[in-house]
Structure 1
Amino acid sequence: MYYYKEDKSLRNLLSGCPCLETLVVRRAACGDGIKSFVIEVPSLQSLSIHAENDGQEHCEYVINAPSLKYLHIYTEKGPEVCLSETSLKLVEAKISCETIDDKLLGSLTSVKMLSLLFWSPLEVVYPTGSSVFYRLVCLEIYTGKPAWWNLLMFMLDASPKLRVLKLLTDKWHKVGEHVVCEKWNQPKTVPECLLLHLETFVWEGYEGKRQEEKEVAKYVLRNTSRLKKVAFSKSNCSLKDRLEMLKELERVIKTPDSCQFDFA
């Protein structure tokens, strides 16, 4: 554990590493003296940030890494994260944090594979204007909190070339049976990615108990015409219940003969 006298101490340290390609940042809850964490490394290709309870003091991350390909951010509280727009080589990003804001989402528009785990979905702030994930082909979203489908629909609308969609249940931040969820409202227009490009739809930990879950699943299946693989998995489910869920979902697929449907 290091404690820095001032913010520029870290910048001076990183400036002395002109060939650095991989950087792992681990910050403890007690803090390290840095409020503005600036990572400015032209050669950096992989960056992982794991911070415990950053929300106790305001902290921001400013990332200027034009060669960056892999990014993983895990924070227990949501600091401000700004990724330079020059990072156009980004291949994969995994974001796990309490809140997701427009600055962070807006700076990831060049990514090809994106995973989003959010703990307070009602605090998600979406980018405005013409933010489009024009290179995104694979998207993972965790369905752990009420109204997670708002983020899903935003991402579907903003990802015209999406081919793989994975919905994952986060057991640690799972929606409780007693929680009242916001009602699912079917969008008036179907996203381009569903109509023209989506080939794989996976839902791990599908419960099928909430009406909102069923409606989201049916909406995706009903509005895709190029699906090649559909996979739903659910633990602690009887064979009878599994078959009933399978029949209910299979009926809404447009092209059942050309699509592999698995319900494990």
Structure 2
Amino acid sequence: MKDRTTESDSLYDNLENMPIGELLHSINREDKKVPEVVEGCIPQIEKIVLEVSKRMKAGGRLFYIGAGTSGRLGIVDASECPPTFGVSHDMVIGLIAGGDSAIRKAVEFAEDDTEQAWKDLSEYNIGPNDSVIGIAASGTTPYVIGGVKDARENGLFTGCITCNDGSPLAQAVEVPVEAVVGPEFVTGSTRMKAGTAQKLILNMISTGVMISLGRVKGNKMVDMQLSNDKLVERGCRMLMNSLNISRVEAQELLSSYGSVRKVIEHYKK
């Protein structure tokens, strides 16, 4: 593999001497580059969404595996699927090297074990309809590379999100997404532009898959979990606008049926 872009020197120097305003404008200038890079990755992202959707319609699940920031981003995306789309918590699953304790605190050398990811995946009774997406800015994380290799050998669909060209991770999967966003503002700090690119791509994957599975109606989250007052209020507004009913009636129906979708289906009958 050639020199890693994610480790290349920042385009800026003497950061400690910059006025705060200049620091912030410079960070923002770099951040603006990220969406354009992600746009160039859409053909590969599309392939992942299509493959994952096909397998999930057959009963499969989506697994994200990563270490450090990448692992945390996968867990965040997975954890947002149940409240947003009303799916079960075992439909989209994020795994991080070092286990759940690594979500808050780094676990030393956990990412260097090439066999642990498959052990972690195997606890979920993994099957051929499942999909595994490896997330690693560097594209060299042993935990992630080992995991996708084992997954692919066992017949699962594999993809990845990385921020370097020609990485070992990209070579190990069926559909690599390589979002090369360039040097970080702070050299090597991939929680910045690389992390932003990964987050944008994860948003696209999970949202695209869930829409393909019918979890959005029109442009509304009709299956969202009504887990707080804000979401109940959102559900009421959806029903008031869709069915032309009063707030009181919307609240009563939502309380009775438990979801926007079920209320709308009831009305259709």
Q: Specify if TM > 0.5.
A: no
Give the helix-richer structure, 1 or 2: 2
Give the strand-richer structure, 1 or 2: 1
Q: What TM-score, normalized to structure 1?
A: 0.26
